[in-house]
A = this chain, B = another copy of it.
Amino acid sequence: MVMEEQKSLSFTLDPKSGVPYYKQVILQVEMAIADGRLTTGDQLPTVRSLAVDLKINPNTISRAYREMEIRGIVNTQQGTGTFISEKEIEISAVEREKILASLVRDFVIKANSYGIDMDQVIDYLQEMRDNEPLKA
């Protein structure tokens, strides 16, 4: 029997990383969406509560949320909250294959600049996937 690891959504900030706080928040939301911890309609923590949690200024959270709103990642309703928006992805398999190929090509070139080869990447990805929670 396997422990059903429940990867809950919790935000953390690394002050030393050099990455701005608001970007760290965005990245964490994006990753949570990518691996299924957040999906369409889910509510994000309120600006104020997350600010308290992370011990930073509410404006900084606000900025992160606003930026995601502009990008269409989340949907904000005054007085109600901020929610993961519906992603309307309607592309054919062919199209998707094309996009994937182009993304991979760019990525390989970039990884190559850092001396990272595909085996490492694949291993890393598999590890990531295997640490995912069972989706509902």
Does any Cβ of B come within 8 Å of A108's Cβ?
Answer: yes
A105 near B31 with CB under 8 A, answer yes
B100 near A116 with CB under 8 A, answer yes
- The number of times this chain is found in the oligomer is 4
CA–CA, A70 to B22, complex, Å? 14
Does any Cβ of B come within 8 Å of A4's Cβ?
Answer: no
Q: What are the residues of chain B within 8 A of A119 when measuring CB–CB? A: 129
Q: What are the residues of chain B within 8 A of A7 when measuring CB–CB? A: 115
Task: Identify A129's interface contact among B107, B116, B118, CB under 8 A.
Answer: B118
Q: What are the residues of chain B within 8 A of A100 when measuring CB–CB? A: 111, 114, 116, 120-121, 124
Q: What are the residues of chain B within 8 A of A55 when measuring CB–CB? A: none
